[in-house]
Amino acid sequence: MNWTDERVELLRKLWAEGLSASQIAAQLGGVSRNAVIGKVHRLKLSSRGRAAPAQTRQKKPKPAGTKAQRPAAAPRAMPQTVGATALKVDYEAEPAVRPSARPAENVVVPISRHLKLAELTDKTCKWPNGDPLTEEFHFCGNDSLETGPYCTYHARLAFQPASERRRQR
Q: Could you list the residues that contact DNA (CB under 7 A)?
A: 1-3, 19-23, 31-35, 37-42, 46-47, 55-60, 62-63, 65, 67-70, 72-73, 75-76, 78, 81, 83-85, 133
Q: How far is the CB of 90 from DNA (least distance, A)?
A: 13
Which of 53/65 has CB closer to DNA?
Answer: 65
CA distance 143 to 141: 7
Residue 25 C-beta: closest distance to DNA, Å: 9
Nearer to DNA, 76 or 113 (CB): 76
- The sign of the torsion formed by the CA atoms of 161, 128, 89, 133 equals positive
- Rounded-to-integer distance, Cα 162 and Cα 164, Å: 5
CB 91 within 8 A of CB 31: no
Cβ 74 to DNA shortest distance, Å? 7
* Least distance from DNA to the Cβ atom of residue 141, Å: 23
> Which residue, 38 or 109, has its beta carbon nearer to DNA?
38
Q: By C-beta, is 85 or 121 nearer to DNA?
A: 85
Total residues belonging to the chain: 169
Task: Please say which residue, 68 or 108, places its beta carbon nearer to DNA.
Answer: 68
Q: How many CA atoms lie within 13 A of 124 on its CB side?
A: 17
Least distance to DNA from the beta carbon of 10, Å?
A: 14
Given a contact cutoff of 8 angstroms between Cβ atoms, the answer to whether 102 and 93 are in contact is no
Spell out a b/e string for 11-48, using b for 16 or more CB atoms within 10 Å of the CB, else e. beebbeebbbbbbbbbbbeebebebbbebbeeeeeeeb
